[in-house]
Amino acid sequence: EVVLTQSPDFQSVTPKDKVTITCRASQSIGSTLHWYQQKPDQSPKLLIKYASQSISGVPSRFSGSGSGTDFTLTINSLEAEDAAVYYCHQSSSFPRTFGQGTKVEIK
Amino acid sequence: EVQLVESGGGLVQPGGSLRLSCAVSGFTFSDYSMNWVRQAPGKGLEWVSYISRSSSVTYYADSVKGRFTISRDNGKNSLYLQMNSLRDEDTAVYYCAVDTILEPWGQGTLVTVSS
């Protein structure tokens, strides 16, 4: 089973800050890593697919990078509406797995 | 407009059974694999099960293997999860999600296992 470890678990940030969330896989998964945003009482929403591919309708301040075992989600110029929990997810192998989540709070 | 609507959740006693459904519209259901993902109260996301487009391939998380069965009816644009021998730790919101990239998701249905 591929274990995904996100860091940090929690981040308190100011609007316009740059936010970086990392996701480390326990073994190489190529680029089969996806990022989701979940706001309170909402379903998760796909932000980035296959490590770095953008999603239609997602603001351009969200970007992803990485391959193999180390991946990064970057939020440039954070906005108040970005307060949420962010998850990484791998589709390289079964069982599919998620990171534990990173909560981003707005100061 | 793409829509996924889960139903069938509720309160059930430990050892009981429930059948969840996910009705989809707005896309060609038979062209996509499907998944169930759950989220226990206040916890993170846990992948539960996968089914291929033709139902020929299924996978399960170890935590539900032998107790849950995923199925689909492409003629009815519907996905199902038969849950047997339910345990307290199965309490969660259950989501259906489309394809390998898990997008889009339904709104979820709450399953509560409690005596």
Size of interface A-B (CB pairs under 8 A): 55
CB A72 within 8 A of CB A66: yes
pLDDT digits (tens, 9 = 90+) for A40-87: 999 999 999 999 999 999 999 999 999 999 999 999 999 999 999 999
Contact state of B45 with A101 under an 8 Å Cβ cutoff:
yes
Residues in chain A within 8 Å Cβ distance of B45? 36, 38, 44, 87, 89, 98, 101
pLDDT (tens, 9 = 90+) of chain B, 115 residues, equals 999 999 999 999 999 999 999 999 999 999 999 999 999 999 999 999 999 999 999 999 999 999 999 999 999 999 999 999 999 999 999 999 998 898 999 999 999 999 9
pLDDT of residue B72: 98
Q: Which residues of A51-65 are buried (b: 16+ CB within 10 A; e: fewer)?
A: bbeeeeeeeeebbbe
Q: How far apart are CA A49 and CA A83, in angstroms?
A: 20
